Structure formats: C-alpha cells, structure tokens
Amino acid sequence: MNLEDALGGWPNQPQGGGGGGAWPGQQPPNPTWPGQPSGPGGWPGAPTGPGQPSGPGGWPSAPSGPSQPSGPGGWPGAPTGPGQPSGPGGWPSAPSGPSQPSGPGGWPSAPSGPTQPSGPSGPSGPGWPSPAPGPTAPSFPVAPQMNLMLPLSHPVPYGLENKTISIRGTVKRNAKMFTIDFCRASDIAFHFNPRFNEGGQKVVVRNSMVGQKWGKEERDGHFPFTAGQNFDMKVEVTRSGFKVTANGQHLPEFRHRNVNPRDIKQIGVFNDITLSHFSVD
C-alpha cells in the first residue's frame, strides 16, 4: 500500500480539519517506542524490570517474599517463629508459662496466697472475725450525798484559812436558838449563837472557848433571823477573823483569839433549824 492510500488521499494535510492525516514532523497515532513490546490492542505493555515476569494481561504479578509459604487460598500464612507451633487455621497458639497449671477453659487459675493465721478464739459472726473488746473505762467513785440532818459535824482536813462557808436553811417556828461552832481539837475558835428569846430579847452571841474556858461574849449588832423563815448566810474566814453575812446584812467581825485558822478542822451545826445547803469553798 502506498502512502496516499494510507492517508486517505490527503498528503501533508494537518490533523484537526476533519481529516485523518498527521502534521509534518508529528508522531503518528499509537506510536511504538523502539525496543518496547506492544501489548494487546495496540497499547504498550507495562514495563517490567529486569528479571521480573509479566502477569496476565501484561501487568506484573505481586512479588513473593523469599522462602515464604503460602496459606490456603493463595494468601500467605502468618509467619511462625522458631520452634513455635501453629494453631488451627494457621494462627499461632498462645504460649503457656513454665509449670503453671491451667484452670478450666485454658485460663491459668489464680495462685493461692499463704495461709493466714486465725485470730484469738471467740464467737464470730458469719465469715467475719469478732471485734476485739476495748479497754474497760475506769470507774470513778461518786461522792456521797451529804446528810444535812442535825446535829451536823463536818470535817475540814486542811483548815479554814481563806475559806468561805455557805449555809442555807429554815428557822423552826418555835425556835429558841441555833448554834454554829468552828472547832480546833477540843477548843471552839468561834461560837455563833443566835437566841430568839433571851429575857424577851433577840440577840446574836459570839464567843470562843479555849482550854475549856469561855471568853468574853460579843452581843452587839442587829438580829437578822426570823422564826419560821428561810435564811441564807455566809462566813468568810480571813487571817484576822470571821466575817458573817446573814440575809444580806453584815454582822460585826469576830477576831481570832490566839487561834490559827489553819488549825480549825471541824464545823458543827445544832439546834432549832433545818438545812437545805452546806458547803465549804
């Protein structure tokens, strides 16, 4: 076939005007390169590298690694390490630890801890140890209630210096007198003696008895008590003497007569009153 017949009768006609020819110096359609094999249908096959086989249809097949066995269905099986057995389906089985007993289902059983010593014997609840009893709380003696029945004798072991005596009670309706004595051994350091009817007079007599002998009475001052009525009195013992306050009224101070107030160790209350309170502070 001559060139004219191959180009449809249009020599040297540029392509693009409806003809099938090629421009001068233009590569003809579907050219083949020198030394390049043509693929089916006129298309060039994919280049293959040196020593690389062509796959079906001109495409190279995937390379296989060296000495790698293929698993079922053409896929490579999972690699197995040296000395490691393969499990079912090509997957390796889980390694078992050294000398470890397996529990049910292939899982290792939990190790049991050392034996725990039991506590002291005693009644225990279901599964729980009984609590240890705590120390017994110390018991303290309870001060006995003071008996305020007359006659009353109240000891004062450490003496009466800088002490205050508080007395509350009621004078009886037919009272003739009542007495409060502050004693040192067989002596009376202070004798307090209100008298409701002495020759028709109400008087508070204050005195002392030292060595079995009464001293000079002191009778001055007012009379703060009433028969059948309540009373509240305080006696302050100072270094100089006895200061008495009765129902808010102050009586003259009775001074010490050669007696140290630290040596006064007993208080006595007698006669026609009842007591509701007595204390030494």
The mean per-residue pLDDT over the stretch 189-213 comes to 96
Q: Position of tokens 């008298």?
A: 195
CA dihedral 219, 223, 225, 231 (to 10 degrees): -90
Q: DSSP letter at 257? A: S
Give the percent of the chain with pLDDT over 90.
46
Q: Give me the pLDDT at residue 20, please.
A: 45
Q: Give me the pLDDT at residue 47, please.
A: 46
Q: Give me the pLDDT at residue 231, please.
A: 97
Q: Give me the pLDDT at residue 117, please.
A: 53
Paired strand residues for 165: 235, 280
Residue 259 has pLDDT above 60, yes or no: yes
Q: Give me the pLDDT at residue 51, please.
A: 46
Residue 255 has pLDDT above 70, yes or no: yes
pLDDT tens-digit readout, 125-166: 455 555 566 655 555 454 445 679 999 999 999 999 999 999
Residue 85 has pLDDT above 60, yes or no: no
For the whole model, what pTM was predicted?
0.50
Whole-angstrom distance, CA of residue 17 vs CA of residue 188: 160
Q: Position of tokens 């703060």?
A: 224
Q: Give me the pLDDT at residue 280, please.
A: 95
Of residues 220 and 147, more confidently modeled: 220
By C-alpha distance, which of 220, 188, 216 is closest to 204? 220
Confidence tier at 33 by pLDDT (50, 70, 90): very low
pLDDT tens-digit readout, 233-247: 999 999 999 999 999
Residue 78 has pLDDT above 80, yes or no: no
By C-alpha distance, which of 225, 223, 224 is closest to 172? 225
Dihedral angle sign, alpha carbons of residues 145, 146, 150, 153: positive
Supply the mean pLDDT for the chain. 71
Of residues 147 and 88, more confidently modeled: 147
